[in-house]
Chain A
Amino acid sequence: MSDDTTSNASPHHQAPANLADEVIKVIARKKKLDPATVTTESTFEQLGVDSLDAADLLFTFEDTFGIVVPDDVAMSMKTVGQVVAALQKLLEEHGKVPASSDAGAKA
């Protein structure tokens, strides 16, 4: 269905050059915020990100990158920085990015 915007049909399974920017962009879009006001230090509480929003956010990246964020990791997240760090770690474990320091080097 054209109005079913929650089904991502074709995951590209590739990490973006700057994961933090990507996470901030998605949060800003979903919470209707100016991306400039969101930083890795921002807390979910400050951004109005509730538990359902967090599940939605993580799903977006799980679906895009083909990874699974374990429930205990998901439950412990309270800031944007923690989301970025957890995703970075999972992506590295899955070999989706070479290493965090090299990210974007080939771009």
Chain B
Amino acid sequence: MRRVAVTGLGVVSAVGIGAPEFWTRIVAGTSGVGPITHFDTTGFQSQIAAEVHGFNAAEHFGEVEREMLDRFAQFAIVAADEAWAQSGLEVDDELRDRAGVAISSAMGGAMTQDSRYKRMYKDGGTRPHPFSIPRIMNNAAVAHVSMRRGLRGPAISIATACAAGAHAIGEAAEMIRAGRVDVMLAGGADAPIAPGVVRCWEAMRVLAPAPKDNPSAACRPFSRNRLGMVLGEGAAVVVLEEWEHAKERGAAILAELAGYGATADADHITQPGIDAPARAIATALAQGCLTPADIDYVNAHGTATRLNDATETAVIKKALGEHAKSTVVSSTKALHGHAMGASAALEFIATVFALREGVVPPTMHYTEPDPDCDLDYAPNEARRRPLRAAISNSFAFGGLNAVLALRKA
């Protein structure tokens, strides 16, 4: 049985750029949520988001490159560069065809699409720039990363919305296990904070309004006074590597991706179920030869919507049984927001750090216990605790569930 090692991490997020900075701020409970600056929000009900600040595209890309790259692809490339550099891998003739890329996106080049459509529908233009399609397409990120690294193995982008990053990482691991590749860059990227996208989310009535006293504390997962979800943006990419391949070259193994479970509710387009997500957890544990009692930490999907929080609590109870009461659950979305296709990958990276350092990241902005959410959510303070194994949950609209199980390396 081929095992999967994690040997590189890369992050562009609202709480920090670079994986170490991301983790430091997650542990400190620093929120990346604030007023939207990407466009004028006058008249919008929802005027906050977890935007990436301090990302200067010109530092990473020349003018000609920027013409071809939407913000989401820029994020993905920068995150992939960081992960690749950490892995210490070098592309040679042998690795070139044995390495691939799986980077998902829920909305692709949403900002480009929004601005191009505005140009036509509002400004009366006719011909959008010819790079519009290559910028907007969801596979732009994975394509540019494969080109930049010269990796010629499988290159895929999986369109499973809020779970897309987890499906990318999980399916990439399956390719390694199956012997098709030895190395995969995997993760997710999204930059959806555009007027049209925010309006469409507003219409679903699931976005948190900004609390007057503290807009940065709008996302309150598992707290009874939850307000809803907060949109975010960013990218997270990891290097997955066949275990012996990593060992032989003396790479630092950051964690083992022990198991992956993917299931579908086959029921409702937005309402989450309980059985199928619980089965995804069970599948991930079984593949990793883990039992519920081994799971010391659950990184929750934790969107801070009424439906998610109570349902996910029930899912964890169903999957882990009695042990659900003794494990610790937390949602880092309170800080990095719901970065769509990037979310699961950001959370996977938080889970890798948690295992390595024996620190449970906090569920921030938790102020009111909810009788429907009665597990230990590590409220408001990171907690030092030896962690042997953990799972990261991701549940997308359409009932598309993905769970990644990790073991401390």
Q: Which residues of A contact B (CB under 8 A)?
A: 1, 3-7, 29-30, 32, 52, 55-56, 59, 62-63, 68
Question: Which range contains the number of B residues in contact with the other chain?
Answer: 20 to 34
In chain B, positions 120-140 with a C-beta closer than 8 Å to chain A are 126-127, 129-132, 134-135
Whole-angstrom CA separation of A59 from B125 in the bound complex: 12
Q: Which residues of A contact B129 (CB under 8 A)?
A: 6-7, 56, 59, 63
- CB of A5 within 8 A of CB of B130, answer no
B127 touching A5, Cβ below 8 Å: no
Tell me the complex Cα distance, A35–B67, Å: 20
Residue-wise, chain B 277-306 has the 8 Å CB interface mask toward A (1 for contact) of: 000000000000000000000000000000
Name the CB-closest residue of A to B134: A52
Q: 5 other contacts beyond A55-B130, A63-B127, with CB at 8 A cut-off?
A: A6-B67, A6-B129, A30-B67, A56-B131, A68-B127
- Is B115 an interface residue when CB atoms closer than 8 A count as contact? yes
Sort A-B residue pairs by CB-CB distance and give the 6 closest, nearest first.
A55-B130, A3-B57, A6-B129, A6-B67, A5-B67, A59-B130
CB <8 Å contact, A52 and B130:
yes
Structural contact, A59 and B112, CB atoms closer than 8 A: no
| Bound Cα distance from A32 to B63, whole angstroms | 10
Of the A-B pairs whose beta carbons lie under 8 Å apart in the complex, a sample of 15, sorted by A's number, is A3-B57, A3-B71, A4-B111, A6-B135, A7-B115, A7-B116, A29-B63, A30-B67, A52-B130, A52-B131, A56-B67, A59-B130, A62-B127, A63-B129, A68-B127
Proximity string of chain B (47-67) to chain A, C-beta cutoff 8 Å, 1 when within and 0 when not? 000000000011000111011
Chain A nearest CB from B38 CB (Å) reads: 7
Q: A7-B129, A56-B129 are in contact. Are A30 and B64 (CB under 8 A)?
A: yes
Which residues of chain A come closer than 8 Å to B64, judged between CB atoms? 29-30, 32
| A59–B135 alpha-carbon span in the complex (Å) | 15
- B74 located at the interface, meaning its Cβ lies under 8 Å from any Cβ of chain A in the complex: yes
Residues of B close to A59: CB separation below 8 A? 127, 129-130
Give the distance in Å from the alpha carbon of A59 to the alpha carbon of B66 in the complex: 16
B152 at the interface (CB under 8 A from A): no
Q: Are A4 and B112 in contact (CB-based, < 8 A)?
A: yes
Of A3, A29, A30, A59, the most chain B CB neighbours within 10 A belong to A3
> In the complex, which residues of chain A have a beta carbon less than 8 angstroms from the beta carbon of B132?
6
Contacts of B247 in A (CB 8 A): none
* Smallest beta-carbon distance A25→chain B, Å: 14
Please, how many angstroms separate the alpha-carbon atoms of A21 and B252 in the complex?
54
Contact A1-B131, Cβ < 8 Å, known A6-B67, A32-B64, A56-B67? no
Q: Does B127 lie within 8 Å of A3, measured CB to CB? A: no
CB distance from A2 to the nearest CB of B (A): 8
How many Å lie between the Cα of A10 and that of B58 in the bound state? 22
B148 interfacial contact with A, CB 8 Å: no
Residues of A within 8 A of B111 (CB): 1, 4
* A9–chain B nearest beta-carbon distance, Å: 9
